[in-house]
Amino acid sequence: MKSLGEMGARTNVARIDRFISAAALLGLGILLAASGCGKSQQQTTTAPAAPAAAPSAPAAPAAGSNGADTTSKLAAADWAVKQDQIKNDPNGQWAISATSSSSYNDAQGAQQWSANQTVGAPNVEKYADDGNAWAPKTQDTGIEWLDLKYPRPVHATEVRVRESFNSGTVIKVELIDDGGAAHTVWAGNDPTTGLNYLLVTFPKTGYKTSEVKVTLATNISPGWKEIDAVQLVGTDQ
């Protein structure tokens, strides 16, 4: 039979064990709770959202998907017909010689970009920097001019300036009569864009002319200004 002292000691040990177990459970609970709180906080602290992508431009309609393609083809065909009509106009003539205020790389004679590149019918086929056209020495210095002479004197009705690169900088067109006097037949803002003609029309002149002077303001826009050819239109009578 256990003594009362042994029983009391055993009871105290049991109480201590229960206390330790409870304390351990409580500590584990606190540790788990703390660990859980930390993860929850980590999950809710996210990186800032990336900026939304800018809206993309509307896709271009596929070629042939509507009437736009047909319209474009008709416009191109109409342009080609007009170019051919101008080139073969029985009242039109192309220059046989030309001089200029300057030329790119000081080109002379048959060199590329010389004034003589404007002699004869047009031969630049695309809107681009092309040595078959005349270009002044600098891109945007200011006033430059091109002077062209034609085979026969006529009573003029039109001048057609074919611009082939960085169009839209012609500011004046003059005719030089047989006595050497200059007559301004047009001055203003050149509306030409792309590979095309500046068409200057006017009442038939009372004098005859076989010389045309075209003046440009090259500082109107950046880039090399180029002229492919200039046609003088008129009749003998």
Per-residue pLDDT of the chain (237 residues; tens, 9 = 90+): 334 344 444 434 344 344 334 444 344 333 333 334 332 333 333 333 333 333 333 344 444 456 778 888 888 898 889 999 999 999 999 999 999 999 999 999 999 999 999 999 999 999 999 999 999 999 999 999 999 999 999 999 999 999 999 999 999 999 999 999 999 999 999 999 999 999 999 999 999 999 999 999 999 999 999 999 999 999 999
Same domain, 101 and 190: yes
Position 70 in a domain: no
Sorted by sequence, the CB contacts under 8 Å of residue 123 that are 6+ apart come out as 132, 228, 229
d(CA 83, CA 187): 24
How much is the pLDDT for 183? 98
**Domains identified in the chain, total number:** 2
Identify the domain containing residue 2 by its residue range: 1-36
Helix (H) or strand (E) segment spanning residue 127 = none
Same domain, 183 and 109: yes
Position 137 in a domain: yes
Same domain, 11 and 95: no
Position 64 in a domain: no
How much is the pLDDT for 66? 60
How much is the pLDDT for 146? 98
pTM (2 decimals)? 0.71
Same domain, 125 and 9: no
Same domain, 113 and 10: no
Same domain, 7 and 120: no
Same domain, 129 and 229: yes
d(CA 100, CA 197): 19
